[in-house]
Amino acid sequence: MTDVFARLGRVVARHPVRAVAAWGVLTAVGLLLAVVGVQGGTLFDRLTTGAPGVPGSESEQARDILAAQDESGPSLTLALSDVDPADPAVGEAMQAVRSDLAALDGVASVIDPLGLPDGPSSAAAAPLVSRTGDGFLVVVGLEPDLPEQQQALDAVQERLERVPDDLRDAAPDASGLVGGSSLVVEQITDQVEQDLRTGEAVALPVALLVMVLVFGGFLAAAMPLAGAVASIGVGLGALLALSYLLDLDASVVNVVTLLGLGLSIDYGLLVVSRFREELHGLLDDDGGRRARRRRGDGAVAEAVERTMGTAGRTVAFSAVTVALALSGLLLLRPPILRSVGVAGVAVVLVAVATALTLVPALLAMGGRRLAQPSVLARVPALHGVLERTADGRSDDGAFGRLAGRVQRRPWASLAGAVVVLLVLAAPLLGLQLRNSTTELLPSGTTQRAFVDLLSRDYPAASSPAVTVVAEGSLEDVTRWAEGLAGLDGVASVDPPSAAGSYVVAGVRVDDDDTAGPAAQRVVREIREQDAPFPTWVTGQAAAQIDFVDALRAGAPAALLVVVVATFVLLFLMTGSVVLPLQALVVNALSIAASLGVLVWAFQDGRLAGLLGFTPTGGVETYVVVLVVAFAFGLSMDYELFLVSRIAELRDAGVPDGEAVRRGLQRSGRIITSAAAIIVVVFAGFVAGDLLVIQEVGFALAVGILVDATLVRLVLVPATLTLLGRAAWWAPAPLRRLHARLPIGH
């Protein structure tokens, strides 16, 4: 297999301009299609959002039944504040407003308490009047199946937003908020696009700065960054193509795009660093006078070939490991997780492709200039800094000295690292899972404010926490529903109403948290009731229960596949059965620590003020799954960076302890630099405003920080030192099998 990558390096070194040109075209096309769009709209126009569901679950069946029975079109609602609905002047002004709205194309109905036959004081108007009496709702419904639905919604929204001005003479302080499901989707997708730009604006400049320190100049630093830009462009184009095959949730784009950005920089760092090491070695061997071949600089071409045979192989194994971790999501039932799995694998493939073709091509074009001191190194103030950060050829340095200290006290180092990880993981014991909707939006956004206002001032108009769909007569369901009012945690039961051939009853809970533990207990109790007719229970709490149940059902198979595949992959790379076990245990501790800190920061709200979010009392359910999958893949990334270098030294005859020390010295700089960059990349998530993106970014940033420092620099060297030669053990039949496989170090 090493020969395969070496041959690839040889081909790229011979035709670098073609490779760079091809990637330039692919990047431009990908960005153009994703941002400008094709006939079906841009990538961001094609995103979906909403509470994640599970096809076939009880809550999803109830939603499907209600959707099938609902023959109305979409609607928008205006919530007016500081307006007295009983004021005759307000009623007079609203007559003109109703006429204007009804005249708009596609409008089927306009409902407000002032337009009802008995006026705002009637029982029918009560749900539309604020409980404080100083506001009311205006609900505009559209005709179903409108061909120009979006244009109609835009026209209705624009007219509703002008209503407070129409009422200014009667109510000088009038204000209003327009809300609706279509506006929630629009605001979330807009926030995703904005957060993606914020993340890239933070990540790319800092990544360039870190790489300048790593490589001592802009030329070498720009090459991994070029790979990252290509990954973003082609990755967005790939996501657009996938959006025609499956539904992509809005949060997916940010997560997988910045994952691809981080991975491409990781891989580019490794490839560029190894190329410079190989090129320095070749030039030192012949005093810098290596003859030029017919097809370019022989030393440069050979350095590219050697780099691909070593670092290229490690990058490929790493990408397969990350892809395997993400492919485990395909075995889970929730579509949002499957879409993340497919999109994530696609972006990982793009990232590894740039590292194995575009970056080597740029290296071949840069040639011997990459082995020469940069202009920055000639600046007196920077020379000393770059000498310490950019020289990766020495076997003596800070990382080697750190490994030496760990090796002198391996048991103490091991115990200390494990204790710290367990302390960080402790909050995970109190984990509460949530499936949020508008709560994901920051509190200052219009739709979040609208939903909060509706819940606070219009309780009768807000949706009940739990909805029961029954297939029975209205009388029978009404009698049965009366018994639900006596269940623990139930505040009231709305009068059942007919919905086609079904009957719907809303159940309101004592707790304001419509998806919290109290609401979930009510859902379980209702589902346990022996109804004389078929029933389905839905709502946010019910959907959350079904989502978690689906995860529990599919997690064992997904974990088994990922663990077995990772074990086999690491065995193929190292020839050891002990190292894969060590990696799995260590990575599990690292992931648990990152999730524990996530619970402490977001569920407990300890960092709410600092990070600017409103706690929801839990962590988003699918965030936990994404963090486990992504953190596992990235942790294995750094495991392979370190272990492959140690294995290479052992194969060269270096004793085990010395191989660990020198391997950490040679790879530690790359691991910590790559980790610093990817932490910045994921910190770009935290700089955004969408809660689910903030949670993912924070957890992964913490996970990578812990993994690249405490785990890779202390725990793994201590473990390998204590294991000694046993770390590389395998049964004799497996050793013979590995020896026959063309997968050398």
Q: What is the pLDDT of residue 395?
A: 61
SS3 566: helix
**CA atoms within a 13 Å half-sphere pointing along the CA-CB vector of 723:** 19
Confidence class of residue 40 from pLDDT cuts 50, 70 and 90?
low
Lowest mean pLDDT among 21-30, 211-220, 426-435, 625-634: 211-220
Among 210, 205, 221, smallest CA distance to 389 is for: 210
The DSSP H or E segment spanning 535 is strand 535-538
**Can you tell me whether residue 224 is helix, strand or coil?**
helix
pLDDT at residue 293, rounded to an integer: 42
Give, for 536, the enclosing helix (H) or strand (E): strand 535-538
**How many alpha carbons lie under 13 Å from residue 692 in its C-beta half-sphere?**
31
- pLDDT, residue 292, reads 43
Residue 113: pLDDT over 80: yes
Three-state DSSP class for residue 721? helix
Task: Look at residue 124 and tell me whether its pLDDT is greater than 90.
Answer: no
Task: Tell me which amino acid residue 552 is.
Answer: R
Report helix, strand or coil for 17.
helix
The pLDDT value recorded for residue 373 is 59
pLDDT at 603 > cutoff 90: yes
Instruction: Please state the three-class secondary structure of 340-361 as a single string.
Output: HHHHHHHHHHHHHHHHHHHHHH
Residue 393 has pLDDT above 50, yes or no: yes
Pairing relationship of beta strands 497-499 and 107-111 according to DSSP bridges? unpaired
Say if residue 471's pLDDT is above 90. yes
The three-state DSSP-derived secondary structure of 47-85 is CECCCCCCCCCHHHHHHHHHHHHCCCCCEEEEEEECCCC
Where in the chain are the domains? 1-42+218-376, 74-184, 410-442+544-745, 443-543
Burial annotation 333-361 (CB, 10 A radius, 16+ → b, else e): bbbbbbbbbbbbbbbbbbbbbbbbbbbbb
DSSP 432-479: -EE--SGGGS-TTSHHHHHHHHHHHH-TTTSPPSEEEEE-S-HHHHHH
The letter for the amino acid at 33 is: L
Alpha carbon distances (Å) from 617 to 512, 514, 520, 623, 689: 12, 11, 14, 14, 18
Amino acid at 111: I
Which of these, 392, 738, 390, 331, lies nearest to 569 by C-alpha position?
Answer: 738
Cα dihedral sign for 66, 67, 72, 78?
A: positive
Cβ atoms of residues 438 and 451 within 8 Å: yes
Q: In whole angstroms, give the CA distance from residue 66 to residue 364.
A: 62
User: Does residue 742 register a pLDDT over 70?
Assistant: no
Range scoring the smallest mean pLDDT among 9-23, 345-359, 653-667: 653-667
> Per-residue pLDDT tens for 604-648?
999 988 888 888 888 988 889 888 988 888 888 888 888 888 988
pLDDT at position 339, please?
A: 87
- Stated pTM of the model: 0.83
| CATH among 1.10.443.10, 1.20.1640.10, 3.40.50.300, 3.90.1330.10 for 410-442+544-745 | 1.20.1640.10
Beta bridge partners of 175: 81
Q: Is the pLDDT of residue 379 over 60?
A: no
Cβ(528)–Cβ(484) below 8 Å = no
What is the per-residue pLDDT for 153?
Answer: 93
Q: Encode pLDDT of 197-238 as tens digits.
A: 777 777 778 777 877 777 767 888 888 889 988 998 998 898
- Collapsed DSSP state (helix, strand, coil) of residue 19: helix
Q: What are the start-end ranges of the E strands in 112-158?
A: 135-142
Does 585 have pLDDT greater than 80? yes
State residue 37's pLDDT score: 74
Looking at domain 1-42+218-376, its CATH class is: mainly alpha
Q: Does the pLDDT value for residue 32 go beyond 80?
A: yes
DSSP letters, 611-652, are HT----SSEEHHHHHHHHHHHHHHHHHHHHHHHHHHHHHHHT
Convert the pLDDT of each residue in 224-235 to its tens digit. 889 988 998 998
Contact (Cβ atoms closer than 8 angstroms) between residue 278 and residue 303: yes
What is the predicted pLDDT for the residue at 4?
87
Question: What is the average per-residue pLDDT within 506-513?
Answer: 84
* Distance linking the first and last C-alpha atoms of the chain: 9
Give the angle subtended at the CA of 643 by the CAs of 642 and 648, to the nearest 5°.
Answer: 105
Q: Grade residue 390 by pLDDT with cuts at 50, 70 and 90.
A: very low
- Please determine whether the domains at 74-184 and 443-543 fall in the same fold group of CATH: yes
Across the range 141-154, mean pLDDT stands at: 89
Q: Which of residues 545 and 461 earns the better pLDDT score? A: 545
Cα–Cα separations (whole angstroms), residue 46 to 35, 199, 330, 449: 11, 21, 21, 25
Let me know: does 307 contact 363? Beta carbons within 8 Å.
yes
Rounded to whole angstroms, the Cα distance separating 677 from 285 reads 33
Position 291 pLDDT exceeds 60 = no
Q: What is the mean pLDDT of residues 173-201?
A: 82
How distant is the alpha carbon of residue 48 from its chain centre? 15
Which residues have a Cβ under 8 Å from the Cβ of 435 and sit 6 or more positions away? 51, 52, 515, 540, 543, 544, 547, 620, 621, 622
Q: CATH classification of 74-184, choosing from 3.40.640.10, 1.20.120.330, 3.40.50.150, 3.30.70.60?
A: 3.30.70.60
Q: What is the mean pLDDT of residues 681-709?
A: 86
| Contact of 253 with 43, CB cutoff 8 Å | yes
Residue 545's pLDDT band, with cuts at 50, 70 and 90, is: very high
Q: Is the pLDDT of residue 700 over 60?
A: yes
Q: Is the pLDDT of residue 294 over 60?
A: no
Residue 377 has pLDDT above 80, yes or no: no
Answer yes or no: is pLDDT of 289 > 80: no
Task: Write down the pLDDT at residue 194.
Answer: 78
Q: What does the block give as tokens for 331?
A: 């075995």
Kindly tell me the burial class for residue 590, based on how many C-beta atoms sit within 10 Å of its own C-beta (0-12, 13-18, 19 or more). buried
pLDDT tens digit string along 248-283? Answer: 877 677 777 778 888 888 898 889 988 988 888 888
Q: Please give the pLDDT value at position 374.
A: 56
Report the distance separating Cα 334 and Cα 356, nearest Å.
Answer: 33
β 75-81/175-179 pair status: antiparallel
More confident site: 203 or 527? 527
* The pLDDT of residue 613: 84
Q: Which CATH class is domain 443-543?
A: alpha beta
Q: At 378, is the pLDDT very low, low, confident or very high (cuts 50, 70, 90)?
A: low
What is the Cα–Cα distance from 704 to 590, expressed in whole angstroms?
A: 9
Question: What is the pLDDT at residue 433?
Answer: 87
C-alpha 619/C-alpha 627 separation (Å) is: 11
* Separation of alpha carbons 665 and 667, rounded Å: 6
What's the chain's average pLDDT?
86
How far apart CA 632 and CA 638 sit, in angstroms, is 10
Q: What is the 3-state secondary structure (H, E, C) of 482-526?
A: HHHHHCCCEEEECCCEEECCEEEEEEEECCCCCCCHHHHHHHHHH
Averaged pLDDT, 599-606: 94
